[in-house]
């Protein structure tokens, strides 16, 4: 792609896209150009549609993966090439959104208790105890832990947003034990093997995978499963959706509202109008 690739990189950075997103969009755009072996300036809507069909029919890509390719191509034509008319009529794929797996409180205890490394256990306990994304937990700095106010400062979260979340006492106790054992060098609370880096999310995922296996849990569990558990358990304990939205750092309340579909206790506590018929509470039905 040459010059176009350079301009696209600059456009993405000027719009404050994350480094990982920049890499992914460039990879998808290059794959699109390589498919036709022609510069994107001579390609248009017909070629874009043909490529997307190729991804679905020949490559057997999922709608979620195809959506990433389409997002990259839409950015390329809408911003870098200034030809938005080529992509404006191409619809976004409909991505199924199955309900996520949620562990019970007992299962969370078993999974975290089976994590061998205190460092990995501390990261994963932060993911559940404060509802953090795995990247947010890995990137925590020592100064982000405010034990006086019992909050954690999450910096540069998704979409570049900062927020505060609670600092559970059990997590604080574990972090103090971890600190005494590891004495991590500043600034990162969970440094990586190389100086100036943080622990990798993949290392934490592998540690959780081993712990889940050792704990005898049959569910498919990832670090994000712990975040889902945090939100669901908060909802079941009576926390309102708006507060959960703020703690999770969701941009839309609709994203948070999906947990009302997951929480069986929340559903069970909701009275059916059938049970209210003929009662004073049911008088509002007429």
pLDDT in tens, 266-285: 666 666 665 666 788 767 66
C-alpha to C-alpha distance for 72 and 66, rounded to whole angstroms:
10
Q: Which of 2-11, 175-184, 236-245 has the lowest mean pLDDT?
A: 236-245
Q: Which of 35, 158, 205, 210 is catalytic?
A: 158
**242 in catalytic set:** no
Asked if residues 39 and 33 have their Cβ atoms less than 8 Å apart, the reply is yes
Whole-number Å distance between alpha carbons of 196 and 20: 19
H-helix or E-strand spanning residue 6: helix 3-14
* Confidence category of residue 35, pLDDT binned at 50, 70, 90: very high
What is residue 257's predicted lDDT score, i.e. its pLDDT?
82
Catalytic, 158? Answer yes
pLDDT grade for 253, boundaries at 50, 70 and 90: confident
Q: Which one of 120, 121, 133, 233 is the catalytic residue?
A: 133
> What is the rounded CA–CA span in Å between residue 185 and residue 187?
6
Average pLDDT over residues 215-237: 92
Strands annotated E in the chain: 145-146, 151-154, 163-166
Q: Residue 271 catalytic?
A: no
Region of poorest pLDDT, from 64-73, 102-111, 252-261:
252-261
β-bridge partners, 163: 154
In this prediction, residue 259 has a pLDDT band, given cuts at 50, 70 and 90, of confident
| Spatial CA neighbour of 225 closest among 132, 120, 145, 156 | 132
Phi-psi region of 262 (alpha: psi -120 to 50; beta: other; left: phi over 0): alpha
- The band of 264, judged by pLDDT with boundaries at 50, 70 and 90, is low
| pLDDT confidence tier of residue 149, bands split at 50, 70 and 90 | very high
Map out the domains of the chain with their CATH numbers: 3-86 (1.10.150.130), 105-268 (1.10.443.10)
Catalytic residue of the set 119, 120, 121, 227: 227
Average pLDDT over residues 25-50: 96
> Six-digit token pair at 14?
């000027």
Is 133 in the active site? yes
Q: Is 224 a catalytic residue?
A: yes
């Amino acid at each position: 792609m040459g010059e176009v690739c350079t301009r696209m990189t600059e456009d993405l950075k000027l719009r404050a896209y994350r480094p990982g997103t920049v890499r992914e969009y460039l990879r998808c755009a290059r794959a699109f150009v390589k498919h036709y072996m022609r510069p994107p300036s001579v390609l248009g809507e017909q070629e874009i549609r043909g490529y997307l069909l190729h991804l679905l029919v020949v490559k057997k890509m999922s709608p979620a993966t195809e959506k990433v390719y389409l997002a990259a191509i839409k950015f390329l034509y809408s911003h870098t090439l200034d030809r938005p008319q080529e992509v404006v009529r191409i619809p976004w794929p409909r991505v199924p959104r199955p309900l996520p797996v949620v562990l019970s409180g007992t299962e969370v205890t078993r999974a975290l208790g089976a994590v061998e490394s205190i460092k990995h256990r501390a990261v994963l306990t932060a993911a559940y105890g404060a509802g953090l994304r795995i990247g947010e937990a890995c990137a925590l700095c020592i100064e982000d832990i405010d034990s006086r106010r019992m909050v954690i400062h999450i910096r540069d979260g998704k979409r570049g947003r900062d927020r505060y979340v609670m600092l559970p006492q059990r997590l604080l106790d574990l972090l103090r034990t971890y600190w005494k054992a590891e004495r991590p060098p500043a600034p990162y609370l969970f440094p990586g093997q190389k100086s100036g880096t943080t622990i990798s999310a993949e290392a934490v995922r592998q540690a959780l995978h081993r712990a889940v296996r050792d704990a005898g849990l049959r569910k498919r569990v990832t670090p994000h499963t712990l975040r889902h558990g945090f939100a669901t358990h908060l909802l079941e304990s009576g926390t309102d959706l708006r507060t959960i939205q703020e703690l999770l750092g969701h941009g839309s309340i609709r994203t948070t509202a999906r947990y009302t579909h997951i929480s069986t206790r929340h559903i069970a506590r909701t009275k059916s109008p059938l049970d209210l018929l003929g009662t004073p509470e049911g008088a509002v039905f007429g």
